[in-house]
Homo-oligomer: A and B are copies of this chain.
Amino acid sequence: MHGRTTDGTVRLEGNARERFYDSRGYGVPDGAALELAPVEAAHLLWREDVEDVDGRDLQAYLAGEPGLAVRFLVYKDLRDRGFYLAPAERWFGHETDVDFAVFPRGEGPWGDAVEYRVRVVGERDDVPVTHLGDATLAVVDEESEITYLGTDHETVSGSSAATLPSGVSATLVGDRVAVPDAPVELYERAFYGQPLDRNDGGDLQLSLLEAAHLAGDVLDIDRESVVGKGRQVEGERFDRRLRVYTTLRERGVVPKTGFKFGADFRTYADVESVDDLGHSELLVRVVPDDHVFAPRDLALDVRLAHGVRKTMVYAVVRGDEVEWVAVRRLTP
């Protein structure tokens, strides 16, 4: 059977509908004929169900359509995994920002359900943070292996709360804040700061974020001088991180540094005492709302989070608002 392209659609005549749509979910029927998207035509070329498209074999056809090689690899992989799928615009309209509608296993374009909304991404493509949240990324690396990343909008909340004293004296020391003879609640109950000596809870070191959050209410230190120091050493990144830090604390979640994991924060949802902390649940990376990821950085974050049994969450700061997007490895 031969395919012929008109207006970006590949037409198969004869009994194509019966052979490829009715039982295998390719294309859009037109009487007994079938209209295919290029990626569907490429797959039928690969299966040798179609001999050529406009006289071209698979490699020539893939080479002739920009981006088709990468979309084909993902389409084929999902078919190999037992899914039927359709080009997204056929399912969601031309406004869609994803590439494929993937149907639940055992279902197809005849039904209503969609299991995954898949966006195809090459290893070298940019991924704006605004593209995360309700799509599954299928990242095709330079060796044509595919990594699936599920992205979801997330709500973040916890039950941590502690009553703290006020008027605690504190001093800015370089790019951190010292609290000599700190009240025991500060660290032991609310998990602020780090004791200078583990055997003697008296002297605490606070980060600039912790100190800025506590300044005025709890700490007797000028908030502006703490925030000013933060901006001096981190620029506007400090304000973004402080916004996220504050939002987490307000929601009953305790953020501590995620440095050892390469993140901004690791978080504990239910802190009653540092002696009974439990496992931190999230790794949080703070990004501005115009942030653009390299797919490899996403892969790195998500792989690390998975390895330490935490969920990778991006805190996207837009003015005073914070949106949370979780990204997880996924096997369709």
Contact = CB atoms under 8 A, between A and B. Distances in A.
A174 interface: yes
A96 interface: no
Given A304-B307, A308-B307, A142 B259 contact: yes
Interface string A161-181: 000000000011111101010
Given A259-B296, A300-B261, A307-B308, A62 B178 contact: yes
Contacts of A205: 73, 143-144
Contact of A304 (B194, B259, B304): B304
Interface stretch (A26-34, A64-72, A151-159): A64-72
A290 B15 CA distance: 63
Q: How many monomers of this chain does the complex have?
A: 2
Interface in A267-307: 295-297, 299-301, 303-304, 307
A193 B143 contact: yes
A236 to B, nearest CB: 14
Interface string A44-64: 001000000000000110110
A171 B63 CA distance: 8
Report the contact-size class of chain A (Cβ under 8 Å from the partner).
Answer: 35 or more
A97 interface: no
Contacts of A63: 171-174
Contacts of A304: 262, 300, 303-304, 307
Nearest to A57: B180
Contact of A257 (B122, B143, B175, B300): B143
A208 interface: yes
12 contacts: A59-B173, A63-B174, A68-B174, A70-B174, A142-B207, A142-B209, A142-B257, A261-B303, A300-B301, A300-B304, A304-B307, A307-B308
